[in-house]
Amino acid sequence: MSPGERPLSPDDSPDLGTAIIAMHYSDVARKLNQPILAEALSLGFLTPPEIQFLATVWELQIGPYAGRRYIGGYYPSGDGSIRPRDHEGKITFLPEDPFRLDTGHATFLGLEETIFKQLVGVARGGPRLARQVNRSEEIFPFYSGVSMLKDGSVLGQLDFFSPVERVAL
């Protein structure tokens, strides 16, 4: 019998759950351009403290969850032409030609800062810690252009997010 043809034993279940959690967040880390973190989660190897995970912390700027912090970045629109600019001490993203109305908006992708830090802990301490990664509290939809999931990920229009600092974890 192969493992897929028999029921899971109580000894197998936690390991399978841990692997599923690690693989899920490995995919998220890959999308966040964190290849070492993604591979550590996917393959279960430990990363030494000398390897730093450099990331940008962003804050949500609108709605009831304004101020919530995410590790992330953006994917540009089809034409890829946006420029960061400093406006009254905050970075904003404007299209190359602000008068054109036919250009798309960039899309922000992020993961709650606290969950990202827990994933770094899994990469440093081992796969068994994946079971301890917290889920985000229940989120209530507030705008159709922002998608917030219980795994801590967020997807939305770049205009709704602002970078606040660079970190090395």
Q: Hey, where are the domains in the chain? A: 11-168
Please give the C-alpha separations between residue 52 and each of 17, 20, 48, 168, in angstroms, as whole numbers.
27, 25, 9, 6
Whole-prediction pTM: 0.83
Mean pLDDT by 10 residues, the chain (169 residues): 60 72 93 96 93 96 93 82 69 68 81 96 89 82 86 92 94
Four-point Cα dihedral 10, 14, 19, 20, nearest 10: 90
